[in-house]
Structure 1
Amino acid sequence: MLLKFFMTCNKIGAFTLGGGYAMIPIMEREFVDKNQWMDRQEFMDIMVVAQTTPGIFAVDMASHIGYKLRGVWGGIVGAVGIALPSIIAIMIIAMFFHNIKDSPWVEKFFRGVRPAVVALIAAPCFKMAKTAGITWRTVWIPIACCLLIALANVSPIYLIIIAGVAGWLLGRYTTKKN
């Protein structure tokens, strides 16, 4: 099982451009849909924890999922599996990039990849909204948070703390009410 998990993480790390957030739909497809190692709610819970954990998001996701599946060794295998392709690619690029960095072909390649990466990052937002139970009545919350981060330069840490406290208070209120 650890070998299969390593190979799955390795495949995700090798074939995803755009970093950790672009990996979310591929991770979800592999871990939830294809291998059924967890359900969507568990995946989303791990994603929330990984976002609040210091470090590289993709490595945090893989190590948290690995830990859930097989404990400490699963976490190590997930982290190494997801990071190894990037480490190898960076080493290869570093060896040759100075020769190709000014190439018009390379510049056009990156210009073409950028919009696709934006889509890969945006697509999981819609899935996460559905899994989180965001409705037309509550959609203002993530929109307000995005605006506060982008326009008012509010730290996401403050928003996470405020949302956590608000959720806790709401939970206490609804528990007392019932």
Structure 2
Amino acid sequence: MLIRLFWAFFKVGALAIGGSYTFYPLLEREIVKNYGWLSMEEFINVAGFSQAAPGPISIKYAVYVGYEVAGIIGILAASLGVMLPAVILMMLVVKGFSRYQNHPGFEGFLRGVRLATLGLILFFAWEMSTALTPELKGIFLAAAAFFGLLAFNLPPGFVLIFGGVLGLTIF
């Protein structure tokens, strides 16, 4: 079981390029679909409360799933798995970045990665929206959070806390 935890989170750590929200589709595939460690509803619940806690999303999932599957040693296996690819990659990037940053194809590569990242985020938003039970109160809360972020540039932490407090009162 520890090897499976390590390997699942190693794959996530190795493939999630472009920011924290790119982790969600990869995490969901490993945690929900491939291994069945969490249901989709549990996965979304972890996504919700992990947004309210500081730190990288992937580490919070590694801690939660690692503990649920194998206790403290599971936390270590999953956390090491998700962190190791970044450590290895950053050691290589530090060496190669200065050499290739002026290469004509480098900017095109980075632009492609950014656009693919947008696609991953939109895919996760779609997956989340289809997994949640649509009801008017929930749609209103999601729309209010989106509008607050977009129109008023509210801090994401404030929006999450407000959403949780509002959720206590309307659900």
User: Are residues 1:153 and 2:134 paired?
Assistant: no
C-alpha contact (below 8 Å) 2:145/2:163 kept by paired residues: no
User: 27-36 or 148-157, which moves further after superposition?
Assistant: 148-157
Q: Distance in 1 between matches of 2:144 and 2:45?
A: 22
Question: 1:66 maps to what in 2?
Answer: 66
Question: 2:85 maps to what in 1?
Answer: 85
C-alpha contact (below 8 Å) 1:17/1:117 kept by paired residues: yes
User: 129-138 or 35-44, which moves further after superposition?
Assistant: 129-138
TM-score by length of structure 2 reads 0.90
C-alpha contact (below 8 Å) 1:19/1:58 kept by paired residues: no
Question: 1:132 maps to what in 2?
Answer: 132
Q: Distance in 2 between matches of 1:110 and 1:16?
A: 14
Gaps of 5+ in 1: 172-178
Note the aligned Cα RMSD (angstroms): 1.7
- Supply the AA of the counterpart residue of 1:159: V
Aligned residues: 171
User: Are residues 1:52 and 2:20 paired?
Assistant: no
User: 161-170 or 81-90, which moves further after superposition?
Assistant: 161-170
1:115-152 Cα deviation digits (max 9, x unpaired) = 11101012111211222323567434322212211221
How far residue 48 of structure 1 moved from its aligned partner, in angstroms, is 1.5
- Supply the AA of the counterpart residue of 1:29: R
Distance 1:100 1:116, change over 3 A: same
Q: Distance in 2 between matches of 1:73 and 1:142?
A: 37
Q: Distance in 2 between matches of 1:135 and 1:104?
A: 50
Structure 2 SS opposite 1:139: helix
Q: Distance in 1 between matches of 2:118 and 2:4?
A: 29
- Supply the AA of the counterpart residue of 1:21: Y
Gaps of 5+ in 2: none
